């Protein structure tokens, strides 16, 4: 699921039942992080960076393909063990649907992942036909994942919310894919930037969004900012995660006020103060 950590030690009411806590409070216990947030640091020192993330309090990990492979130069079983030793879980990973797709599926299974996420459209073209074709590709990719006990998903950016002939392209992916097999990782920052309401999607497509990228955004400049500095209502989203079927979220920080690790520390402190 989501969230984080040590506040429960100071809560005298915790023993009476976590159901008494506000939803957004419960969802700050096992907080995840998308490792693209620390892409340079991971390439330079993967193990050392994971140790720093664990110290900040992050528990769930989502990898992203890099020039050193899907796990920043680490083997799937290697990153799995490092994470486990640090009290973390490699929950998900971003890859492409390409010539290495089946290897990525096998690697994700070895890494112990639950989810495997296609990080961007496998073919270019902002057309209804391309999105229909892509939806069919996703259905097949989801079958590949199911054979290895993985759940397939797709991560959006901004362009998926363009309209063509009155149709929102993203909706084609949702409507044409098998809801039992194809899930969506909603990047909430990019969705909100487009002027769309995530809660409408949660209502129209219940349980299709088990994963989130949780990020705050400067809605004018369209860049990532630390939590509480932008136009994304982080607290409201966490309060309504159940409506989306959200099970895990990953903090993603694409730009930084100072450094990646300092920004991720700020984000964690923001979540703890909820």
Label residue 28 by pLDDT band (50, 70, 90).
Answer: low
Hey, CA dihedral for 16, 22, 25, 30, is it positive or negative? Answer: positive
Q: Single out the residue of 69, 66, 35, 70 nearest to residue 52, CA to CA.
A: 35
Token reading at 216: 């705050």
Token reading at 90: 């490699």
How much is the mean pLDDT over the chain?
A: 91
CB of 34 closer than 8 Å to CB of 213: yes
Label residue 17 by pLDDT band (50, 70, 90).
Answer: very low
How does pLDDT run across 136-165, given as a tens digit for each residue?
Answer: 999 999 999 999 999 999 999 999 999 999
Domains of the chain with bracketed CATH: 32-116+140-155+179-257 (3.20.20.150)
Q: Single out the residue of 161, 175, 178 nearest to residue 126, CA to CA.
A: 161
Helix boundaries (H) for the chain: 23-26, 39-44, 46-56, 76-85, 101-110, 128-147, 169-176, 188-193, 198-204, 234-239, 241-244, 260-273
Question: What percent of the chain has a predicted confidence (pLDDT) above 70?
Answer: 90
Question: Is residue 74 predicted with pLDDT exceeding 80?
Answer: yes
């Amino acid at each position: 699921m989501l969230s984080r950590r040590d506040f429960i030690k100071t809560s005298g009411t915790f023993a009476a039942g976590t159901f008494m806590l506000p939803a957004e409070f419960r969802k700050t216990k096992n907080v995840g992080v998308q490792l693209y947030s620390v892409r340079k640091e991971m390439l330079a020192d993967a193990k050392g960076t994971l140790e720093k993330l664990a110290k900040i309090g992050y528990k769930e990990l989502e990898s992203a393909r890099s020039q050193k492979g899907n796990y920043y130069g680490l083997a799937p079983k290697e990153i799995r063990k490092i994470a486990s030793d640090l009290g973390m879980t490699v929950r998900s990973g971003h890859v492409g649907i390409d010539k290495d797709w089946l290897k990525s599926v096998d690697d994700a299974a070895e890494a112990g992942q639950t989810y495997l996420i296609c990080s961007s459209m496998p073919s270019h073209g902002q057309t209804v036909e391309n999105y229909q074709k892509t939806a069919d590709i996703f259905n097949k990719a989801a079958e590949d994942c199911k054979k290895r006990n993985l759940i397939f998903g797709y991560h959006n950016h901004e362009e998926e919310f363009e309209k063509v002939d009155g149709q929102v392209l993203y909706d084609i992916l949702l409507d044409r894919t098998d809801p039992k097999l194809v899930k969506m990782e909603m990047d909430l920052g990019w969705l909100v930037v487009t002027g769309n309401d995530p809660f409408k999607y949660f209502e129209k497509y219940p349980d299709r969004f088990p994963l989130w990228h949780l990020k705050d955004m400067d809605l004018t400049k369209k860049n990532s900012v630390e939590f509480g500095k932008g136009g994304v209502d982080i607290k409201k989203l966490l309060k309504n995660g159940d409506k989306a079927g959200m099970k895990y979220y990953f903090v993603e920080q694409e730009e930084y006020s100072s450094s990646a690790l300092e920004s991720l520390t700020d984000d964690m402190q923001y979540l703890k103060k909820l």
